[in-house]
Amino acid sequence: MAGECRRCKKKEAEVYLPHSNLNLCSDCFLLLTERRVKHTVNAYKMLSKNDRVGVAVSGGKDSSTLAYILSSLFDKVDIFLIYIDLGVPDYSEHCLYKVNELAKIIDKELIIYSLEKDLGLRIGDFKSTIYGRKICSACGTIKRYLFNKISYDMGLTKIATGHNLNDTVEVLFNFYLEGNVESLLRMKPFLRRIHPKFVPKIKPLIGLTDMECLLYAEYRNLPIRTIDCQFSKGSRMLRRKELLNMITERMPTFMHSFMQSHFKRILPTLEAASKNREIKLYECTICGMPTSLKGAPCHFCKLISTLKRRA
Ligand code: AMP
Ligand code: ZN
């Protein structure tokens, strides 16, 4: 890439950011990326001094970037890394190796939950419970449940995930297409405690694109996975990602504008219009953890009992 860095005007530019039309050197790129995460955390008041935060690390570029930035910028906050070993052949061991390396680099405790050791199951076993759909939906249910359960049991005050701008716009886009207002109301950068057993969730990377997270992880030499999950191939999620990339190529500010207008304008209007439809959580009749289902088992317990019935 030709030319000098637009920020320091000293070093050679190496990174081009199309959404802000900026050419940056690697140092300025790293600095601005960290500043943007800090800005998101402060703008949504995601963290406070005495927080004990569980960072969900998958071995991917986003969560490794997240763990690194949070641990270097917010030293007043207690940070624990949480990895869920879903028992995907080869992939899960590969990712476990990467998160172990990451934990050593940033000097944080790594909590490992193994579906096989702790529950006697592997994600592949859930094939029979999903009626021909991709296994990703069961995987999402299991991960969401375990993030909350592990953090609640450990007395953590927040759970941070590596969802980035692409992930966020992709999900919002889908809810818009479906007209799914309920889910739009529940999808927020910071989900506060809405039940005593619900641990608040934060997404500090929602302002960074896929490419920015990848470049950050690469420039910082963070250990990140180099293989993909065998179950995610051809998923609807991947197809939507491609579609968004096509739009963004033609209109570089698309994702940023979409997210800004959703969280700043559309969501507050939706919330004001649905004051009497507050999100209610009940307790699962089997495990006692929070669920949107009244007088019934939570989605996780339902999955497990379906599996046991079929065994
Ligand atoms: P995904 O649902 O795979 O797009 O991942 C979204 C976020 O969930 C990641 O950025 C991580 O923060 C977290 N995550 C995904 N898989 C795992 C895992 N196996 N263990 C811990 N955290 C995970
Ligand atoms: Zn349950």
Output the CA 175–ligand 2 centroid distance in Å.
26
**Ligand 1 center to residue 59 CA distance, Å?**
8
Rounded CA separation 30/34 (Å): 6
Q: What is the pLDDT of residues 126-180, one digit of tens each?
A: 887 766 677 888 999 999 999 999 999 999 999 999 999 999 999 999 999 999 9
Mutate to test the pocket of ligand 1, among 93, 143, 209 (most ligand atoms within 8 A of CB): 143
Ligand 1 centroid distance, CA of 163 (Å): 8
Question: Pocket residues for ligand 1 (CB within 6 Å)?
Answer: 56-58, 60, 62-63, 82-84, 86, 143, 161-163, 167
What is the band of 109 on the pLDDT scale with cuts at 50, 70, 90? very high
Ligand 1: which of 161, 225, 237 to mutate, judged by most atoms within 8 Å of the beta carbon? 161
Q: Which ligand has the shortest distance to the CA of 287?
A: 2
Which residue's CA is the nearest one to ligand 1's atom 9? 162
Q: How far is the CA of 300 from the centre of ligand 2 (A)?
A: 6
Mean pLDDT calculated for residue range 5-14:
96
Do the Cβ atoms of 298 and 286 come closer than 8 Å? yes
Q: Are 24 and 15 in contact (CB under 8 A)?
A: yes
C-alpha 17, offset from chain centre: 22
Number of neighbours of residue 270 by Cβ within 10 angstroms: 14
Ligand 1, atom nearest to 62 Cα: 10
- Alpha carbon separation from 288 to 15, 113, 139, 244, 296 (Å, rounded): 49, 20, 21, 39, 10
Distance from residue 161's CA to the centre of ligand 1 (Å): 7
The pLDDT-based confidence of 259 (bands split at 50, 70, 90) is very high
Q: How far is the CA of 21 from the centre of ligand 1 (A)?
A: 30
Helices (H), the chain: 26-43, 61-73, 91-106, 115-119, 136-153, 165-178, 181-186, 210-219, 236-250, 254-261, 267-273, 299-310
Q: Mean per-residue pLDDT for 211-221? A: 98
Q: What is the DSSP string of 28-65?
A: HHHHHHHHHHHHHHHHTT---TT-EEEEE--SSHHHHH
Per-residue pLDDT at 66: 98
Which pLDDT belongs to residue 276?
66
Minimum-distance ligand to the CA of 293?
Answer: 2
Q: Please write the tens of the pLDDT for every residue from 17-74.
A: 999 999 999 999 999 999 999 999 999 999 998 999 999 999 999 999 999 999 999 9
Task: Please check the confidence at residue 278 and state whether its pLDDT lies above 90.
Answer: no
Burial of 36 (0-12, 13-18, 19+ CB in 10 A): middle
Residue 236 predicted with pLDDT over 90: no
User: What pLDDT is attached to residue 127?
Assistant: 82
Residue 16: per-residue pLDDT: 97
pLDDT (mean) for 280-296: 94
Alpha carbon nearest to ligand 1 atom 8, residue: 161
202 CA to centre of ligand 2 in angstroms: 22
- Ligand 1 atom nearest the C-alpha of 84 is 20
Whether the pLDDT of residue 1 is over 70: the answer is no
Give percent of the chain with pLDDT exceeding 90.
82
Tell me, what's the pLDDT at 208?
A: 98
User: What is the distance in A from the centroid of ligand 1 to the CA of 7?
Assistant: 33
| Average pLDDT of the residues of the chain | 93
Residue 131: per-residue pLDDT: 63
> What is the rounded CA–CA span in Å between residue 170 and residue 131?
24
Mean pLDDT of 79-98: 97
Residue 307: the pLDDT is 85
Nearest ligand to the CA of 63 is 1
Domain covering 38-272 assigned CATH 3.10.20.90 in the classification: no
Nearest ligand to residue 197 Cα: 2
Whether residue 66 contacts residue 205, with contact meaning beta carbons closer than 8 Å, is answered with yes
Q: Where are the domains of the chain?
A: 38-272, 280-311
What is the pLDDT at residue 132? 62
